[in-house]
Amino acid sequence: MALNKINETHQLGPMSSFFLIQVTQIGIGFFSFQQPLSRFSAQDAWVACLIGGLSSLGVMWLILRLLENEHKYGRADLFSIHTRIFGKWIGGVLNLATIIFFMLYAAIYLRSYIEILQVWIFPQLSILVFTALFCLLIAYIVLGGMRTIGGIFLLSFVYMIPLYAETVFAVPGAHFSNLLPLFDHGPKSLLLSVFYSIHIYLGSEMILFYYPFIKHPEQAKKWCYFALLDTLFIYLMIMILGTAYFSQGEMKLTIWPTVTFWKSITFPLFEHVDMINIVYMIWILLPSMALSAWIVSRGIKLTFPVIRQKYALIFVLAVFIVVAEIVYNGELVATANALFSKLGFCFNYIYIPLLLLCQWIVKKVKGEPA
Amino acid sequence: MFRNKKRQQQASKNKDPKTIGDVLDHLGKSRDFVHFQHGNTHFSCWISYFRTLIDIDYVHRDVFPFLYSDSIRNMADIKDQLPLEKLIQTKDIHEIQSKLLEGYIIIQKDERSPECLIVPSVKIQGRQIEKSEVETSIIGPKETFVESIDTNINLIRKRIPVPQLTLKEIRVGKLSRTQVGIIYIDGIASEENVNTVLQRIQSLEVASLIDATMLALMITDNNWTIFPQFTDTERPDRVSGAVYEGKIAVLVDGSPNALILPSTIVEFFAAFDDYFLPWNISSAYRLLRLFAVALSALSSSLYVALLTYHYQLLPKDLLGSLISSRSSVPFDPVMEVLILEVMIELLREAGARLPTKVGQTIGIVGGIVIGTATVQAGLSSNILLIIIAMSALAAFITPNYRMATTIRFIRFPFIISAQMFGLLGIGMCFTYFVTHLIRLTSLGRPYIEPIFPFRASDLKDAFIRLPFQLQNSRPMFLRPGDPARMNTTRTSQEKGKKSPDIDE
């Protein structure tokens, strides 16, 4: 099959797995994750953040294991794993479920960003116009293929560095005594926080789809783990800073703690760094959205080979626009986000180990490939 | 459609000469075509040429005396005795016709005999090599290309005296048959690149080719882009530098520009003078140029966005003076900006089209008089005038003229999107352009190469220029046949020397 072998001119270097994973992990959760985390473990939320991040390393190990095993059988991505292990029909249904999950996930992600835009910058921003224009941008990126998407990821990583760096200017407003007393919470409340921290680390599982597009995957492995550690570091810093910056009382009332402490940073011509940063965060949204659109449209193409990816892409973008319109207020956005972070948790921590198990069973039953 | 095709076929049938007589009859309609019989007692022949194309002095001095001498008895004698190296004897009508049109002399035994002797006598007339005017240089070489391809090749070849320097020649243009020269160093330039260039130029279907920049547009990877994909330069030193690096130069007869392929976007912001200054200074200037580009593309749209939507971002003290300066302006910020931008574009275009002396006057009149008057008349604010003038100035810091026009142009989409969505619009427009750049290729190579795909080794000569001793490999972007610029073992030996301690 022509699809099995990805032409080298469409592939990305091993190092790009670093950018792809790091940038997909950092998302809209970056604005707001401190609040749900500290709901259960107050000043010890950073411990939960740390544990959640470390557990993502374990998930990555499982995922890479899964993909490496699959490598012998041909194209190593989730869609092919499904059809190979479960056969054409059940595999097809699972593929369809995956497609729908990622499609809705991406659409809700886009909608959450619009919510922030509406609250902080343009209260009257038309969702329809913005999503339509944004989807045009995504279409332009995805039509360029995986290499263009890789480029967007790399640039996004580079562009985000100043954003993380400038957070240093909020440090003078922090009271590090807020972090005391250390380790004051029992395992139960910590674990609850860990559960809520999982959703900020979601995104790394997308490697299940673009893995065949990475040259020399064995070299890419270390970059995958580096990316996870980098994300962990960034979230940990922001978490600690957030806890130190706000008292626990304030934290309960602040929906977007990161944006709020950005407000204390001012530069001569940019009195409101928070507004610039929110606009700047379009570069966090863009790569993940483009990758999701690419994954979903590719999934449609692989599941229904009659449909070409170009046309599938149009459908996917139309769904983005429609879903963003349907989720009409902030409460719905919050509900949808909560639902999808739970689903994401199930996908990463339950479904992937199960899939690995199935793969192992199939290998035992059918034997090694020739 | 079919009829059109038929008509074309008929037309070409009518024009196609069949015999040498047809050719001579057809050319004879031109008044500058000379066709006469030369004869003396023991030998006679027919000579034909365009008197406007041949070097008449040379012919009278070096060709005719031999023809008229007694020792010539037949055509073979002419071939033996004329002291010229490139005599062609042929029956090929097309060759005869094209050679006549290039300024060669044709000698025949009889008026209608198909056997012709072609004698070179081309007159090369063109301007002298002059000082560079478009890409000026302060301390570097000042020679520039002229309109004659032979002179241009000479300018390059004398800078690259190696036997591997290869010149391939292709004729382009169905009617014009323009001579196109492709120059590269065999073994250094990537074979794949050379083949791509040859293939793209050979497969061109055009009637005529006037200039190298036209060729650049014809063989470009993407026809829709506003970004130039191949560097054009009028400086032989720049071309030689690029050829040494492993790039390919393309020259077109009649064009004072050379193309350098492939190119990355950062090369358009690098002046060749950067290599004549210490690396730290030239790096600073390169960064300044990048800053200028950003300023030029974004400043007016930022003005629109800040004043229309995000006045919170402005410092309170500045807000006061902005309000007072804008209080007499009846327009929205976007209208104000567009009026001034269009005005500046008019001035620029007028300055470029008008004769030099008038152009300068227009610049002064336009810049000072109209600018001040616009503010006094209340069409725009003082602050905006400063911003627009600065951004116009910044656009022309770009060393390459074609890139400078692109930079001047891209502010308009930015202004419009800033009016639509404020900062968000600027962000989206920026994203669009970045995506576009990521998707662009130059000769199949990624256009924004040192950034994406990220190659740290090529960053040595991109946004900053590191010292020459660190630049010991050719850019990976070009996939050169020989990546090492210098003997690496020797350079590492020198590095191995211990640095002396104080007072040693």
* CB-based contact A275 B439, cutoff 8 Å: no
* Domain total of chain A: 1
**Alpha carbon distance B304, A224 (integer Å):** 42
Given pLDDT bands bounded at 50, 70 and 90, which one contains residue B134?
confident
* CB-based contact B423 A117, cutoff 8 Å: no
- What pLDDT does residue B453 have? 85
CA angle A48, A53, A55 (to 5 degrees): 95
Q: Prior bond to B256 cis, omega within 30?
A: no
Greatest Cα-to-Cα distance within chain B, rounded to the nearest angstrom? 103
Q: Collapse the DSSP code of A353 into the 3-class scheme (helix H, G, I; strand E, B; otherwise coil) and give the result.
A: helix
* CB-based contact A269 B432, cutoff 8 Å: no
**Alpha carbon distance A299, A78 (integer Å):** 9
* CB-based contact B439 A144, cutoff 8 Å: yes
**Alpha carbon distance A232, A51 (integer Å):** 9
Position A99 pLDDT exceeds 90: yes
Asked if B248 and B282 sit in the same domain, the reply is no
Would you give the DSSP letter of residue B62?
I
Please indicate, yes or no, if residue A5 is contained in any of the structural domains: no
Chain centroid to CA B429: how far? 29
**Alpha carbon distance B118, B90 (integer Å):** 8
Distance from CA of A270 to the nearest CA of B (A): 5
**Alpha carbon distance B128, B130 (integer Å):** 6
* C-alpha torsion A224→A229→A232→A237, nearest 10: -140
Concatenating the DSSP letter of every residue in A147-210 gives HHHHHHHHHHHHHHHHHHHHGGGGGGG--GGGGPSTT-S-HHHHHHHHHHHHHHHTTGGGHHHH
H, E, C per residue of A259-318? HHHHCCCCECCECCHHHHHHHHCHHHHHHHHHHHHHHHHHHHHHHCCCCCHHHHHHHHHH
Token couple for B236: 């032989």
* Domain total of chain B: 3
Residues of A in contact with B222 (CB under 8 A): none
Please indicate, yes or no, if residue A154 is contained in any of the structural domains: yes
CB A62 within 8 A of CB A356: yes
**Domain region containing A319:** 14-363
- What pLDDT does residue B231 have? 92
**Alpha carbon distance B437, B444 (integer Å):** 13
Please indicate, yes or no, if residue B63 is contained in any of the structural domains: yes
- What pLDDT does residue B117 have? 85
* CB-based contact A137 B312, cutoff 8 Å: no
* Phi and psi torsions of A37, nearest 5°: -70, -40
Residues of B in contact with A139 (CB under 8 A): none
**Alpha carbon distance B260, B238 (integer Å):** 9
Tell which of B424, B433, B455, B476 to mutate to test the A interface (max A CBs under 10 Å).
B424
Residues of A in contact with B422 (CB under 8 A): 121-122
Sign, Cα dihedral of B297, B303, B304, B306: positive
Asked if B320 and B374 sit in the same domain, the reply is yes
Count of all residues that appear for chain A in the document = 370
* CB-based contact A279 B424, cutoff 8 Å: yes
Residues of A in contact with B458 (CB under 8 A): none
Q: pLDDT tens across A313-344, in order? A: 999 999 999 999 998 888 888 899 889 889 99
Nearest Cβ partner for A13 among B309, B436, B453? B453
Q: pLDDT tens across A229-277, in order? A: 999 999 999 999 989 999 888 888 888 888 888 888 888 777 888 888 8
Asked if B311 and B214 sit in the same domain, the reply is no
- What pLDDT does residue B43 have? 79
Distance from CA of A143 to the nearest CA of B (A): 9
**Domain region containing B311:** 276-442
Position B360 pLDDT exceeds 80: no
Average pLDDT over residues A348-365: 91
Please indicate, yes or no, if residue A370 is contained in any of the structural domains: no
Nearest Cβ partner for A269 among B315, B432, B436? B315
Asked if B285 and B415 sit in the same domain, the reply is yes
**Alpha carbon distance A368, B205 (integer Å):** 56
CB A66 within 8 A of CB A356: yes
Token couple for A57: 């390393």
Distance from CA of A152 to the nearest CA of B (A): 7
Please indicate, yes or no, if residue B125 is contained in any of the structural domains: no
Position B432 pLDDT exceeds 90: yes
Q: Is B2 on the interface with A (CB under 8 A)?
A: no
**CATH code, A296:** 1.20.1740.10
- What pLDDT does residue A62 have? 93
Nearest Cβ partner for B452 among A122, A141, A151? A151
Distance from CA of A323 to the nearest CA of B (A): 21
- Mean pLDDT rounded to a whole number for chain B: 86
Closest CA to B192 of B473, B480, B497: B480
Asked if B292 and B360 sit in the same domain, the reply is yes
Greatest Cα-to-Cα distance within chain A, rounded to the nearest angstrom? 68
**Alpha carbon distance A281, A265 (integer Å):** 17
Please indicate, yes or no, if residue A6 is contained in any of the structural domains: no
Please indicate, yes or no, if residue A221 is contained in any of the structural domains: yes
Residues 6+ apart with CB under 8 A from B64: none
Nearest Cβ partner for A148 among B315, B432, B435? B435
Please indicate, yes or no, if residue B456 is contained in any of the structural domains: no
Distance from CA of A177 to the nearest CA of B (A): 32
- The number of beta carbons lying within 10 Å of the beta carbon of residue B372 is 12
Please indicate, yes or no, if residue B29 is contained in any of the structural domains: yes
Counting residues of chain B whose pLDDT is more than 70, the rounded percentage is: 95
Interface of A with B in 248-277 (CB under 8 A): 268-272, 275-276
Asked if B17 and B105 sit in the same domain, the reply is yes
CB A14 within 8 A of CB A216: yes
Please indicate, yes or no, if residue B484 is contained in any of the structural domains: no
Residue type at B330?
P
Please indicate, yes or no, if residue A239 is contained in any of the structural domains: yes
Please indicate, yes or no, if residue B472 is contained in any of the structural domains: no
Asked if B98 and B223 sit in the same domain, the reply is no
Q: pLDDT tens across B287-322, in order? A: 999 999 999 999 999 999 999 998 888 888 888 888
Q: Is A133 on the interface with B (CB under 8 A)?
A: yes
Average pLDDT over residues B330-353: 88
Given pLDDT bands bounded at 50, 70 and 90, which one contains residue B14?
low
B278 CB-contact burial (10 Å; exposed 0-12 / middle 13-18 / buried 19+): exposed
Tell which of A20, A216, A279 to mutate to test the B interface (max B CBs under 10 Å).
A279
Please indicate, yes or no, if residue B469 is contained in any of the structural domains: no
* CB-based contact B431 A133, cutoff 8 Å: no
Tell which of B221, B318, B435, B451 to mutate to test the A interface (max A CBs under 10 Å).
B435
Please indicate, yes or no, if residue A4 is contained in any of the structural domains: no
Average pLDDT over residues A73-101: 90
- What pLDDT does residue B202 have? 93
Asked if B257 and B284 sit in the same domain, the reply is no
Residues of A in contact with B438 (CB under 8 A): 144, 147-148, 151-152, 155
Residues 6+ apart with CB under 8 A from B33: B27, B48, B49, B50, B51
- What pLDDT does residue A1 have? 41
Count of CB pairs separated by less than 8 Å, A with B: 81
Sign, Cα dihedral of B228, B234, B239, B241: negative
- What pLDDT does residue A22 have? 93
Q: pLDDT tens across A302-311, in order? A: 988 898 999 9
* CB-based contact A140 B453, cutoff 8 Å: no
Residues of B in contact with A158 (CB under 8 A): 451
Residues 6+ apart with CB under 8 A from B65: none
Position A3 pLDDT exceeds 70: no
Q: Is A119 on the interface with B (CB under 8 A)?
A: no
- The number of beta carbons lying within 10 Å of the beta carbon of residue A143 is 14
Token couple for B45: 């022949």
* CB-based contact A275 B432, cutoff 8 Å: no
Token couple for B207: 């009637």
Given pLDDT bands bounded at 50, 70 and 90, which one contains residue A2?
very low
Given pLDDT bands bounded at 50, 70 and 90, which one contains residue B457?
confident
Asked if B303 and B331 sit in the same domain, the reply is yes
**Which of B158-167, B238-247, B454-463 has the lowest average pLDDT?**
B454-463
Q: pLDDT tens across B57-74, in order? A: 888 888 888 777 777 777
- What pLDDT does residue B8 have? 61
Strands (E), B147-191: 165-172, 178-185
Residues 6+ apart with CB under 8 A from B467: B279
Asked if B350 and B414 sit in the same domain, the reply is yes
CA angle A271, A276, A281 (to 5 degrees): 155
- What pLDDT does residue B289 have? 92
Q: Prior bond to A172 cis, omega within 30?
A: no
**Among B28-32, B71-75, B78-82, B483-487, which range has the highest average pLDDT?**
B28-32
Distance from CA of A285 to the nearest CA of B (A): 12
- What pLDDT does residue B31 have? 87
Average pLDDT over residues B143-167: 92
- Mean pLDDT rounded to a whole number for chain A: 89
- Which of B231, B263, B295 marks a domain boundary? B263
**Alpha carbon distance B494, B478 (integer Å):** 28
Closest CA to A283 of A153, A177, A182: A153
Residues of B in contact with A274 (CB under 8 A): none
Nearest Cβ partner for B313 among A12, A148, A272? A272
Count of all residues that appear for chain B in the document = 504
* C-alpha torsion A8→A13→A18→A22, nearest 10: -50
- Which of B120, B139, B170 marks a domain boundary? B120
Position B363 pLDDT exceeds 80: no
Position B2 pLDDT exceeds 80: no
* Phi and psi torsions of A277, nearest 5°: -65, -35
Distance from CA of A189 to the nearest CA of B (A): 40
CB B328 within 8 A of CB B378: yes
Q: Which residues pair with B133 in a beta bridge?
A: none
Nearest Cβ partner for A137 among B314, B423, B435? B435
Closest CA to A293 of A265, A308, A307, A312: A312
Nearest Cβ partner for B435 among A125, A141, A279? A141
Nearest chain B Cα to A137, which residue? B432
Please indicate, yes or no, if residue B205 is contained in any of the structural domains: yes
**Alpha carbon distance B373, B435 (integer Å):** 41
Tell which of B311, B431, B459 to mutate to test the A interface (max A CBs under 10 Å).
B431
CB A121 within 8 A of CB A256: no
Counting residues of chain A whose pLDDT is more than 90, the rounded percentage is: 45
Q: Prior bond to B65 cis, omega within 30?
A: no
Distance from CA of B321 to the nearest CA of A (A): 14
Asked if B160 and B44 sit in the same domain, the reply is no
Q: Is B311 on the interface with A (CB under 8 A)?
A: no
**Alpha carbon distance B135, B143 (integer Å):** 11
**Alpha carbon distance B367, A74 (integer Å):** 67
Average pLDDT over residues B263-274: 89
Position B199 pLDDT exceeds 90: yes
Position A85 pLDDT exceeds 80: yes
Residues of B in contact with A125 (CB under 8 A): 421
H helices, E strands: number in chain B:
19, 12
Q: How far apart are the first and last CA of chain B?
A: 86
Going by DSSP bridges, is the β-strand pair B33-39/B44-50 parallel, antiparallel, or unpaired? antiparallel
Closest CA to B462 of B478, B479, B450: B450
Asked if B430 and B328 sit in the same domain, the reply is yes
Residues of A in contact with B434 (CB under 8 A): 152, 155
Given pLDDT bands bounded at 50, 70 and 90, which one contains residue B185?
very high
CA dist list (Å): B56 to B30, B51, B89, B274: 18, 7, 22, 46
Given pLDDT bands bounded at 50, 70 and 90, which one contains residue B497?
low
- Which of B208, B231, B263 marks a domain boundary? B263
Token couple for B67: 């023809």
- The number of beta carbons lying within 10 Å of the beta carbon of residue B409 is 13
- What pLDDT does residue B244 have? 92
Token couple for B360: 């300068």
Tell which of B264, B313, B417, B440 to mutate to test the A interface (max A CBs under 10 Å).
B313
